[in-house]
Chains A and B, each alone.
Chain A
Amino acid sequence: MRLAQREGEAIDRGRELGFTFAGSRITGFAGDTIGSALYASGRRVFSRSFKYHRPRGLLCCSGHCANCMLTVDGVPNVRVCVEPLREGTVVEAQNVVGSLERDLLAVTDRVGGPFTPVGFYYRTMIRPRRLWPVYEKVLRSIAGLGRVGGASRRYDTEHRRAEVLVIGGGRSGREAASAAAREGRQVVLVDEGAQEPLPGVEVLAPAQALGLYEGGLVPVDAGGVMYRFRAERIVVATGAVEQPLVFPGNDLAGVVLPNAVRRLVGEWSIKPGERAVVLAADDRGLETADLLAEAGVDVALALRVTPNNPLRIEATGRRGRVRKVTVDGKSIDCDLLVMSGGRQPAYSLLAQAGARVEYDATKGIFVPTALPAGVDAVGAVTGEVGGSSIPRPLYAGDGKCFVCVCEDVTVKDMKRALAEGFDSLELCKRYTTVTMGPCQGRLCQLASVRVYAHEQQTGEAAIGTTTARPPWAPVTLGLLAGRHHEPARRTALHHRHEEAGATMMWTGEWRRPHSYGDPEAEAREVHEGLGLIDVSTLGKLLVEGPDAGVFLDRLYPNRFSDLKPGRIRYGVLNGDGGRIMDDGTIARLGDELYYVTTTSTGAEGIFAWFQWWNAVWGYDVEIVNVTGALAAVNLAGPRAREALAALTDADVSGEAIGYLDCREVVVAGVPCLVLRIGFVGELGYELHCSSPAAEHLWDRLVSGGARPFGLEPQRILRLEKQHVIIGQDTDSESNVLSAGMGWIAKLDKDDFVGKWALEHAAERGVRERLVGFEMRDSALPAEGGQVVAGGRSIGRVTSARRSPVLGKNIGLAWVPPELAEDGAELEILVDGRPEPAVVRLEPFFDPEGARLRS
């Protein structure tokens, strides 16, 4: 099948490459594509069509259509006509049951007609309804093209900038790129095929521009990586696409577009057939007759198609391969039929950028006009496609006549859609899926417009085109997803938790220990002995400057300007709507220096919040986020003081470091900021130190007898104290009055963020209150469980745990204000049954706080 060596051929006959197709071994040459090597081996049928499973062969040979899609090394839907051949490649057919030659599903082509009309999935299989699961199972197994393999592959995304981005590496594209490079611009050229290097230009090939988005954003598929290009100037040189003719049998294998002949003969020196017919509307198409003759093919007929001649074209074949073409009643045997309906500019990217698309009646094609700023078009895409007559919209005859080969949409389907009232092409597209296949309208947009114009007896201009949308070329989902990112923050002590066998859990972006195996025992240890928890995830901000106190006074509902250096105060942040945003402790380290902690998930947001208000107010304050720089641990339990004293020379007595005091103390040789606070309800010290020193500090505390505890025991412990977790027990409707923290709002203070809303709320009263409850019996409500009265939901549980030290099930819940009284009776649904509970407004454990003050 190969011709004698020709000048300019792209293959290297000295280098044979072997691959397998459907299990049999085939050889080609270096420079072949998989498609050309298969064609040279005699293969004509490459695929089975989407819906009717009709045999299909090479059509465009340019990587546009779905006709040569095969599974290559496990990757489905590879267009083998443009996929370079590599040694050892394994190629398989797809979308067939059986083989390409004998596909059992081809039955849909012969007898499926009444059952699978256009839009059949909307109606044929809807009734009887109970059979839908059966239909669905069958349809799912045969729908779609190709099977996604198990092979995983890594994809990356990269942001790139270019002064000039040229899309398309044909003659015009290369000239435009070179001209821009000569002007000293930074130029990138993207092309879907192979490209020679170009001086001064970065050439990305093979690569495919997928779309043209707002702000000049062009995603480029370069194989395993997606470049998100931003360019100051974009030059679109995507050329023009050869158009098929619409006649019965136009999808048979052996019916090709001119470029297939040019590439088969010109690049790979393959004799494409024995006897050919050429029917073309343009000179370019007719010229292939000469090329075929040169390659030794018997050209039986070369005819220019015009609006009036011929009137009938009909191709027939056997086993899906063309055998005969009948032109105006004259039958000609052939095994190759070259058709050309002229060339249509590939304007999609320009249209996506905002260009208008108008029908040029003299040329019979749609051309882009009114290009947006920053976007240029050069070459054939502008509409300079050479001389061509306008072919008839469709040619009479019997048999299936395809408008869209990718989606198997026939002229009959479009007529039916029109008869059913889908008179706009946009509606027809959605109903019939014409132009929605892998070629994205390259081969069928113009044909579908012509058919609709013909059927509605109007012009192409009146029908117009459908909206061009990205992606302009098929793209793998993996590339869109990019590399799998799971952004996680781990504290400086993470490895210690893993070594200790902790179960890790997500809290916002952080990974934290849930527990080290026995949450209840860990909680008990904090009550009875000594526990240690990593709280490095707390947000930590330094607020420093002459206005630091005033600044915090305006951000928080309580006062910080009167806080004495060395003291700590709890604070709750609100927005101007009066809703609770975040909470934490504020320690005054000096006259002009405060150390603010936030919740673990709030750190970044609260830092931005502080910065924002300071941008508004302009105080003399610096805000520094030291969340990652500092680690923190909470040493808690009756033995905490004794354990701390063993590791420091400093005085850590109750007089030297009282409750809510902060001091700088060297612990185990590590300079620490010690905050004496009691989130877990026992004597406790938060030790904040530089992250690199945390491991040493942790190890010394553990060898001093402290037992690590995780978040789950901490949740039990804090619930025993009714300490609220913002976001768990509060939501975007909660304010400090309803959350039972009214004492914190100093409404006599000057303006602070949220003051006005709290004043109004105080005046109007709150709709619900957050209260503690304990269950009378052993039932444990779910978080989110309902508080009910007379069968109606009147509130909800936000936290519930069994407290091992109290031997009770306790929790927090939102209830109507009239029930917010100590001893009020509640009913809470547990597993659908109302269970009795009692409201408790005081902490369940150590209500006086004697233990944390000890």
Chain B
Amino acid sequence: MSFLLRCPTCGLRAVDEFGYAGEVTSRPQQPPSLAELCDYVYFRRNVAGVQREWWYHRLGCEQWFQADRDTRTNEVVEVFAP
């Protein structure tokens, strides 16, 4: 994996500078059933296409942000400060 990612704070940087926490999930609002909890903790949509993800600028500003990335091409469409 080798591409550039635009940190909202620091600008365009190599992907090696970042930590990755996978696609943005939605945490249940109410106490979940065991099946719902397993879905939330363990299951991901794993799309072949654009998905919203969590990124952490580990070697830079140490801030988390979200990015829309195409998992097929690694093209980063947009980044957001959360």
* Chain A interface residues toward B at CB < 8 A: 159, 213-215, 217, 230, 575-577, 607-608, 611-612, 615-616, 618, 625, 756-757, 759-760
Cβ B37 vs Cβ A214 within 8 A: no
Residue of A nearest to B16 (CB): A159
B77 at the A interface (CB under 8 A) = no
Known: A214-B1, A611-B56, A625-B62. 20 other contacts (CB 8 A): A159-B14, A214-B3, A215-B4, A215-B15, A215-B74, A230-B4, A576-B27, A576-B40, A577-B41, A577-B42, A608-B56, A611-B62, A611-B63, A612-B21, A615-B63, A615-B64, A756-B32, A756-B37, A760-B34, A760-B37
Chain B 28-65, CB within 8 Å of chain A: the 1/0 string?
A: 10011010010011100000000000101010001111
The docked-state distance in angstroms from the alpha carbon of A103 to that of B56 is: 59
List of B residues within 8 angstroms of A611 by Cβ:
56, 62-64
List of B residues within 8 angstroms of A757 by Cβ:
37, 41
List of B residues within 8 angstroms of A213 by Cβ:
2
Q: Can you spell out 15 A-B residue pairs with CB atoms less than 8 angstroms apart?
A: A159-B14, A214-B1, A214-B2, A214-B74, A230-B4, A576-B27, A608-B64, A611-B62, A611-B63, A612-B56, A615-B64, A615-B65, A618-B82, A757-B37, A759-B31
The docked-state distance in angstroms from the alpha carbon of A214 to that of B32 is: 41
List of B residues within 8 angstroms of A230 by Cβ:
4, 14
List of A residues within 8 angstroms of B2 by Cβ:
213-215, 217
Residue of B nearest to A760 (CB): B34
List of A residues within 8 angstroms of B32 by Cβ:
756
Chain B 1-30, CB within 8 Å of chain A: the 1/0 string?
A: 111100000000011000101000001100
- B19 partner, pick from A575, A608, A615, A756, beta carbons under 8 A: A608
CB distance from B15 to the nearest CB of A (A): 8
CB distance from B50 to the nearest CB of A (A): 17
Residue of B nearest to A612 (CB): B64
List of A residues within 8 angstroms of B4 by Cβ:
215, 230
- B28 partner, pick from A215, A618, A756, beta carbons under 8 A: A756
The docked-state distance in angstroms from the alpha carbon of A213 to that of B63 is: 28
CB distance from A618 to the nearest CB of B (A): 8
Cβ A615 vs Cβ B41 within 8 A: no
The docked-state distance in angstroms from the alpha carbon of A643 to that of B65 is: 49
The docked-state distance in angstroms from the alpha carbon of A577 to that of B27 is: 12
The docked-state distance in angstroms from the alpha carbon of A576 to that of B82 is: 20
Residue of A nearest to B3 (CB): A215
- A615 partner, pick from B14, B27, B37, B82, beta carbons under 8 A: B82
List of A residues within 8 angstroms of B56 by Cβ:
608, 611-612
Residue of A nearest to B82 (CB): A615
The docked-state distance in angstroms from the alpha carbon of A788 to that of B15 is: 48
Cβ B31 vs Cβ A608 within 8 A: no
- A616 partner, pick from B37, B40, B82, beta carbons under 8 A: B82
CB distance from B35 to the nearest CB of A (A): 10
CB distance from B55 to the nearest CB of A (A): 11
Residue of B nearest to A228 (CB): B14
Please indicate which of the listed interface residues B15, B21, B41 has the most CB atoms of chain A within 10 Å of its own CB: B41
- Kindly list the 6 A-B residue pairs having the minimum CB-CB distance in the complex, ordered from nearest: A215-B3, A615-B64, A577-B41, A615-B82, A217-B2, A214-B2
Residue of A nearest to B5 (CB): A215
List of A residues within 8 angstroms of B31 by Cβ:
756, 759
CB distance from A414 to the nearest CB of B (A): 35
List of A residues within 8 angstroms of B42 by Cβ:
577
List of B residues within 8 angstroms of A756 by Cβ:
28, 31-32, 37
List of A residues within 8 angstroms of B37 by Cβ:
576, 756-757, 760
List of B residues within 8 angstroms of A618 by Cβ:
82
With known contacts A213-B2, A576-B40, A607–B62 Cβ distance under 8 A:
yes
List of B residues within 8 angstroms of A214 by Cβ:
1-3, 74
List of B residues within 8 angstroms of A612 by Cβ:
21, 54, 56, 64
The docked-state distance in angstroms from the alpha carbon of A607 to that of B64 is: 11
Cβ A576 vs Cβ B64 within 8 A: no
CB distance from A393 to the nearest CB of B (A): 38
CB distance from B73 to the nearest CB of A (A): 9
CB distance from A162 to the nearest CB of B (A): 13
Please indicate which of the listed interface residues A215, A608, A612, A616 has the most CB atoms of chain B within 10 Å of its own CB: A215
Residue of A nearest to B36 (CB): A756
Residue of B nearest to A213 (CB): B2
The docked-state distance in angstroms from the alpha carbon of A625 to that of B34 is: 35
